[in-house]
Amino acid sequence: MTRFTLRAWDMRDLECLLKYANNSRIANNLTNRYPQPYREEDGLSFIQMAQKAKPLEIFAIAKHPDNEAIGSIGVHPQSDIYCKNAEIGYWLAEPFWGQGIATEALRQICTYAFANFEVERLFARPFGSNYASQRVLEKAGFVLEARLEASLFKNGRYEDELIYARRRKH
């Protein structure tokens, strides 16, 4: 039985987005572009941006059976000399951590990315301290390519940046 679907974000998702995205435990593992606190105007702006790309690049992770948005996952094609690469980004609402949802959503977005974009490599850059995200990536077939020591600065402390990748010919 399918526990969730990847689908387009909709303005009806705003309430769920605000309920789950306004969480410092999520924000602490993302770039500073992810707002904290997460306000209504942030949610509106995000949903509008997510709806623009064709083909879609950013999806809601919606749980069954009620279709409630419980997270987000996206594929972000790169440009210039990186044009055969796409960055993967995701977050999942805390009540759903540890249930395998993020791993399965990541597998689905990889299939989607390779089918819809002319990319050969997907990559993600978790913080060195984000062991859960590292495990999600590994279970979805990503391989650690690099560890950049103390290259990130978040919340007053340095973090290692890890680079995980999965190639089309996985």
Averaged over 138-163, what is the pLDDT?
A: 97
Considering the domain boundaries, does residue 126 fall inside one? Answer: no
Domain tally, the chain:
1
Percent of the chain at pLDDT > 70 equals: 98
Instruction: With respect to residue 85, please indicate whether it lies within any of the assigned structural domains.
Output: yes
Half-sphere exposure of 50 (CA within 13 A, CB side): 25
Helix (H, G, I), strand (E, B) or coil at 48: helix
pLDDT of residue 170: 56
**CB atoms near residue 7 (< 10 Å):** 14
Closest Cα partner for 8 from 48, 40, 35? Answer: 48
pLDDT of residue 10: 96
- Residue 69 inside a domain? The answer is yes
Question: Does some domain include residue 140?
Answer: no
What mean pLDDT do residues 29-54 have?
Answer: 96
Query: Rg of the chain's alpha carbons, rounded to an integer?
Result: 15
**Residue 121 is encoded by which pair of tokens?**
């490599």
Query: Residues 136, 124: contact at Cβ < 8 Å?
Result: no
At 62 the pLDDT is: 98
In a domain, 90, yes or no: yes
pLDDT for residue 1: 56
Dump pLDDT digits (tens) for 60-112. Answer: 999 999 999 999 999 999 999 999 999 999 999 999 999 999 999 999 999 99
Does any domain span residue 166?
no
What CATH number does residue 45 fall under?
3.40.630.30
Parent domain of 81: 4-121
First to last CA, the chain: 26
pLDDT of residue 163: 98
> Is position 17 within any domain?
yes
Residue 106: inside a domain, yes or no? yes
Q: How confident is the model at residue 169 (pLDDT cuts 50, 70, 90)?
A: confident
